[in-house]
Structure 1
Amino acid sequence: MARVVGRKDEKILTRLADEFEQLAAQLNSPVPIPMEIGKFTQACRLVSPLIRHLGVAMKFADIEYSAKVSGVVKAGKSVNTLEELLDRDIQQNTIKRQSSGSRLLIRVKRSLELLKIIFEQIMASSGNSLMDPVNTAYKQVFYPYHGWASRKTVAGALQTLPTKSLFFKRLKLDEASAFVQMQRIVTAVAPLIHYIDNLFLSRESAKELLRLL
């Protein structure tokens, strides 16, 4: 008898694509449904094991990212949607606090932007190195907000990245299959990033946060 494959047995890149496609479908529906914090963070948590496949030197990035996602979960315990989370921070005048759910949401959003650009760069590059794709993404997303110490840490971590082929091996996918899943994720994450940006842009008191880390 054939074994039924459960969610835990699925390749992480495929699971990530599935989760983000569900969120994108929700946002792209004729009558968009407000994004629930639980569904959003459930998908975002799947990025963490993907980061770990990039090697031990990226552990600091995984710890920082996971803390931001957990922070959004904690901040959203008394509300249900990302929109409600932002509005509550505005009403309570806590939106600019470093630990506010809104600030943490922006940082998670930037991590999704980073992931999107990394995958775009990997698919566009012909070599076997991950350094250029990751470095290009980092410089576009986080570099402007980081100080010298953070930039130096990232530069050191870039030197330890696995080759593209080893990365795919860790993901248990060949290049062609990995590219299919990466493109699915790139396509699905784009409307999610756009949605979060619009949440802030549509509120005068929240626009400024998009320029902050």
Structure 2
Amino acid sequence: MARVVKRKDERILTRLADEFEQLAAQLNSRAPITMEIGKFTQACRLVSPLVQHFGVALKFVDIEYSAEVNGIEKAGKSVNTLEDLLDREIQQNTMKDQSSASRSLIRVKRSLEMFKIIFEQTMASSGNSIMDPVNTAYKQVFYPYHGWATRKAVAGALYTLPTKSLFLTRLKLDEASAFVLMQRIVTALAPLIHYIDNLFHSRESAQELLRLI
């Protein structure tokens, strides 16, 4: 059977929608629910090419996000699932370490939350600016955990965001097609984010970590 090779110019929103829908389908079909680290990080890595289309404004997200995905992937060399990852760090009492994979998972989840909100706000907004959608998402997700200097830097960087039309041009999509794909991604991310939250809420020793980061 011929091996299917994905082209580098394949539209990133389509790939994101496909990958996250596969994860969502997995969550809806398995009992008990588990999530393989390899499949999770494979989907998450596709976010970085998307971030680049926003320009330097979201560079801070991409740098941290890529490092956190790497941390989860590294942990996947010792355990197979996200459930096993948390349970191992609970047993080893390393969950609260600054470099723990559990912390990385929370930060990755927050990045996914941010892009979910960006897409929701972009689809709901009129005009040719994506500054408000990005600012709303940032304030809801990352703002409470950032210091004054970071907040100020992000506020300034928002003015470098591309217009909505330029952003869509970079994605090689018209608005109607982009919104269809954004909605697919939003729909797929909702159960994934809920699932990760539940991983921590279902483990008493892990609940506090959600408030610390």
TM-score range, shorter chain: over 0.9
What's 1:148 paired with? 148
Provide the C-alpha distance between the structure 2 equivalents of 1:68 and 1:156, rounded to a whole number of angstroms: 25
Task: Give percent identity, aligned residues only.
Answer: 84
Tell me whether 1:93 sits opposite 2:109 in the alignment.
Answer: no
* SS of match in other structure, 2:29: coil
5+ residue gaps, structure 1, are none
Provide the C-alpha distance between the structure 1 equivalents of 2:201 and 2:165, rounded to a whole number of angstroms: 40
8 Å Cα contact 1:75-1:100 kept in structure 2? no
Provide the C-alpha distance between the structure 1 equivalents of 2:169 and 2:48, rounded to a whole number of angstroms: 17
Provide the C-alpha distance between the structure 2 equivalents of 1:103 and 1:28, rounded to a whole number of angstroms: 25
Provide the C-alpha distance between the structure 1 equivalents of 2:203 and 2:129, rounded to a whole number of angstroms: 41
RMSD: 1.4
8 Å Cα contact 2:69-2:104 kept in structure 1? yes
* SS of match in other structure, 2:173: coil
In the alignment, residue 43 of structure 2 is paired with which amino acid?
Answer: A
Tell me whether 1:165 sits opposite 2:142 in the alignment.
Answer: no
Provide the C-alpha distance between the structure 1 equivalents of 2:47 and 2:106, rounded to a whole number of angstroms: 16
Provide the C-alpha distance between the structure 1 equivalents of 2:99 and 2:188, rounded to a whole number of angstroms: 28
Task: Report runs of 4+ in structure 1 exceeding 3 Å deviation.
Answer: 4-9
What's 2:181 paired with? 181
In the alignment, residue 155 of structure 1 is paired with which amino acid?
Answer: A
8 Å Cα contact 1:23-1:192 kept in structure 2? yes
8 Å Cα contact 1:26-1:32 kept in structure 2? no
In the alignment, residue 14 of structure 2 is paired with which amino acid?
Answer: T
Provide the C-alpha distance between the structure 2 equivalents of 1:119 and 1:138, rounded to a whole number of angstroms: 12
What's 1:66 paired with? 66
What's 2:134 paired with? 134
8 Å Cα contact 1:45-1:66 kept in structure 2? yes
* SS of match in other structure, 1:159: helix
Provide the C-alpha distance between the structure 2 equivalents of 1:154 and 1:16, rounded to a whole number of angstroms: 25
In the alignment, residue 154 of structure 2 is paired with which amino acid?
Answer: V
8 Å Cα contact 2:38-2:73 kept in structure 1? yes
How big is the shift at 1:119?
A: 0.3
Gap change, CA 1:15 and 1:98, over 3 Å in 2: same
What's 2:14 paired with? 14
Gap change, CA 1:149 and 1:191, over 3 Å in 2: same
What's 2:115 paired with? 115
How big is the shift at 1:7?
A: 4.7
What's 1:27 paired with? 27
How big is the shift at 1:6?
A: 3.8
8 Å Cα contact 2:57-2:154 kept in structure 1? no
In the alignment, residue 78 of structure 1 is paired with which amino acid?
Answer: S
Provide the C-alpha distance between the structure 1 equivalents of 2:32 and 2:69, rounded to a whole number of angstroms: 23
The TM-score, its normalising length taken from structure 2, stands at 0.95
Instruction: Tell me how many residue pairs correspond in the alignment.
Output: 210
8 Å Cα contact 1:53-1:171 kept in structure 2? yes
What's 2:103 paired with? 103
In the alignment, residue 95 of structure 1 is paired with which amino acid?
Answer: M
